[in-house]
Structure 1
Amino acid sequence: MKVTAVETFLVEPRWLFLKVSTDEGVSGWGEPVVEGRAETVRAAVHELSELVIGQDPLRVEDLWQVLRRGGFYRGGPVLSSALSGYDHAFWDIAGKARGLPVHELLGGPVRDRVRAYSWVGGDRPDGIFDAVSRQVAAGFSAVKMNATAEMRPIASPAEAEAVLKRAREAREALGPHGDLAIDFHGRVSPAMARRLVRMLEEVQPMFVEEPVLPELPAEVLASVVRASTVPIATGERLFSRWEFKPVLDVGVAVVQPDPSHAGGISELRRIGALAEIYGASIAPHCPLGPISLAASLQVAFTTPNFLIQEQSAGMHYNGSDPSYLVDMAPVRVVDGWIARPTGPGLGVEVDEAAVRRAAESGHAWRSPIWRHDDGSFAEW
């Protein structure tokens, strides 16, 4: 079997899909994208196709090594995301060629269903109690919310109390048996992060996500970990096992590699195994499309220390949630759970005609630019 063609499709709301075709008629799909930089990743995908065309897609690990290490300069969000999409597609082909779901090729399932959480609120959360109540009524036992909009390096007591107030509303709606994740989104300074995680202890979050910017030294994250008993999660902007080791060394409880950014299925598996050494859990970051989710689920079903799955249905960034699948059942959340997919490869069938139609319009989604009240730049 040889790769004969590589195609990319820029589709709303902010996604990029990849199709890898072969001379035996088996094709694989992937989702390589950096939100807000889809065209840049698309260029990288096509540049890397020089290393892919004519190769055997069933040599998944060898191709991963070549795509990762075949250039003197490697890694980072763009190249790692391009690699991720190829890795999805190669595993998809490998499963289809053997008539098996990818999780069977990875050693078989360790669970029968995967717990998922739903997003509530937007970047400026309002009406949290009602929003969480709706998700509880829909069957979810876990939700995630943003902690705050832009926040000054040393925020006022009123701003800090507003974070706690919204978290209390969410906890009230969830009750004592539900789980609440709170995303700081790198918007909070280390000093405020240490203050806020201590304040949030009373609502007992499942985890606080990305409390500080990932480029800060590991000892800064360590200071947040030590500041309270709240489990700390991070990893959506880390792109390899090498980048995850320092955060595990300082004691994070949950790692969150993204299947579309951190090297695909192959590297997510290795990051999960690395986290297992530290007694940490893996909760893959996945606010993107159905191909990325399908890839993430293949890892979730084979990883012993998996915690919970993010998914984007109803998420504020994605608008009307176009499916682009012939059948959404393999990735559908029912009463807060996703059943084990049994179809070959990634377990989903892409509606190629719908993808091609959507790609005629494409998209130009960009991350918002925020500013503080004094006009200076604020983290989004």
Structure 2
Amino acid sequence: MGMPRMRLRHVEYLPFPRIRVAKPPPPDISYYTTQKNHLGTIGDDRLPRPLCRPTRSPRETNMKVTALITLAVDRYNYVKVETDEGITGVGELHPASGTGGTPFVPRAAVDYCSEYLVGKDPLHIEKHWQHMFRRQLFRGGADMMAAMGAIDIALWDIKGKSLGKPVYELLGGPVREKVRLYTHLGGNSPEELAQQASARVEEGFTALRIYPFGDFGAADFEEGLGLERMSFSGMQNNAVERVAAVREAAGPDIDIMIDVVNRLTPAEAIGLGRALEPFNLYFFEDPIEPEN
């Protein structure tokens, strides 16, 4: 037997009873109405008005960027930003593309940024960074960021010089008096690495970095060390021998790091990391391509 059907026959509105709340007394503004307005243009019986126009900051300048120049010094590249007041700033240009000392694409990116920056006040650093970043349709990738990083450093250099302050003071002041450094060991054999490790520890270094497959450049996977003919297992065994030699020479209390310069796939990087786990690595630098 089914349930009987119900039908709606009547809807009635029931007003909610009002609750009377005592009206609060008006605020006491006698203090404000008796004080002389700081502008001197409004009577004493009115509240002071804020400034209609902002005042000029004493930090603003008329200095303008006149040129962005890329410089190559040995294997390193820099951006020099010049101004009409003779103050210059320098920033390091990382070779995100190209090899060695020829970062062609980042240099082109610097030229692209100069179209915007020339004629601007170099002290407006954050404004310029945001504009250079957002004016790119697809953000430009690593090459554009390399150019922007160099320009950003150069602008901070200019700001510190113009204010007569070191840049670290502008960024919040010093945090420590010393910075721990590591050194990189060269050499293509475990024996060479062990010898260098002992010498660097004697000099006072507490952290050592190596290329676990040997010292190589951009073309070494095609020629040079024979890595193009070596299986991954062979490369991994080679890395284990080299890291083991450094650990034995340096001792258990020295930090050891490796850098493979983006040469591996994710699976290869994981395998190499597991093979080197007994040597207690401090860090594993650039295991895979940044785009992966």
TM-score by length of 2: 0.67
- The answer as to 2:86 corresponding to 1:25 is yes
Match of residue 200 from structure 1: 276
Give the structure 2 partner of residue 4 of structure 1. Answer: 66
Question: Unpaired segments of 5 or more residues in structure 2?
Answer: 1-62, 215-220, 222-226
Provide the secondary structure at the position in 2 that maps to 1:17.
strand
* Structure 1 residues without counterparts, runs of 5 or longer: 217-380
User: Which residue in the other structure is 1:50 paired with?
Assistant: 115
Compared with structure 1, are the counterparts of its residues 83 and 48 closer, same or farther at alpha carbon in structure 2 (3 Å cutoff)? Answer: same
The alpha-carbon distance between structure 1 residues 211 and 153, as it changes in their structure 2 partners (threshold 3 A), is farther
Contact 2:212 2:238 in 1 (8 A): no
- Show the 5 A alignment for 1:1-380: 1-13=63-75, 15-34=76-95, 36=99, 37-122=102-187, 124-126=188-190, 127-148=192-213, 150=221, 155=231, 157-216=233-292
Q: Is the 8 A contact 2:185 2:196 kept in 1?
A: yes
* Change over 3 Å in CA distance of 1:58–1:157 after alignment to 2: closer
Alpha-carbon distance in structure 1 between the residues aligned to 2:148 and 2:112? 11
Per the normalisation by structure 1, the TM-score is: 0.52
Once the 2 structures are TM-superposed, how far is the Cα of residue 103 of structure 1 from its aligned partner? 1.4
> 1:125 and 1:186 mapped to 2: Cα distance?
21
Rounded to whole Å, the distance in 1 between the matches of 2:233 and 2:86 is 62
Deviation for aligned residue 1:152: 7.1
Mark the CA change 1:131 to 1:156 in structure 2 (over 3 Å): closer, same or farther. same
Are the equivalent residues in 1 in contact too, given 2:182–2:206 (CA < 8 A)? yes
Q: Distance in 1 between matches of 2:108 and 2:233?
A: 46
- What do residues 299-346 of structure 1 show as CA deviations (whole Å, max 9, x unaligned)? xxxxxxxxxxxxxxxxxxxxxxxxxxxxxxxxxxxxxxxxxxxxxxxx
Q: CA deviation at 1:211?
A: 2.2
Code of the aligned partner of 2:289: L
Describe the superposition over 1:21-50 as per-residue Cα deviations: whole angstroms up to 9, x where unpaired.
212221111122415242332222122111
Residues 160/6 of structure 1: CA separation in 2 closer, same or farther (3 Å cut):
closer
Tell me the CA shift for residue 153 of structure 1. Answer: 11
Letter in 1 for 2:81: V
Pair 156,98 (structure 1): closer, same or farther in 2 beyond 3 Å: closer
Sequence identity (%): 39
Please give the alpha-carbon distance, in whole angstroms, between the structure 1 residues aligned to 2:80 and 2:196. 37
Distance 1:186 1:19, change over 3 A: closer
Larger radius of gyration: 2
Question: In structure 2, do the counterparts of structure 1 residues 59 and 181 end up closer, same or farther at CA, with 3 Å as the change threshold?
Answer: same
For the residues of structure 2 that align with 1:140 and 1:39, how far apart are their CA atoms?
Answer: 35
**Structure with more relative contact order (C-alpha pairs < 8 Å, separation 6 or more):** 1
Q: In 2, Cα distance between the equivalents of 1:156 and 1:23? A: 56
The alignment of Structure 1 onto Structure 2 pairs a total of residues equal to: 214
Quote the offset at 1:89 in angstroms. Answer: 0.7
Deviation at 1:109, TM superposition (A): 1.8
Cα distance per residue 1:197-231 (max 9 Å; x no partner): 11211110101122223222xxxxxxxxxxxxxxx
**CA deviation after TM superposition for structure 1 residue 77, in Å:** 2.0
| Structure 1 runs of 4+ with >4 Å offset | 149-154
Contact 2:125–2:156 (CA under 8 A) maintained in structure 1: yes
Asked if the contact 1:29–1:92 (Cα under 8 Å) also holds between the matched residues in 2, the reply is yes
SS in 2 for 1:115: coil
1:287 is matched with none
Q: CA deviation at 1:12?
A: 1.8
Using the alignment, how far apart are the partners of 2:80 and 2:70 within structure 1?
6
C-alpha spacing 1:156/1:212, structure 2 compared with 1 (3 Å)? closer
Deviation, 1:178, is: 1.0
Contact 1:145/1:183 (8 A) holds in 2: yes
1:60/1:156 CA distance change after superposition, 3 Å: closer
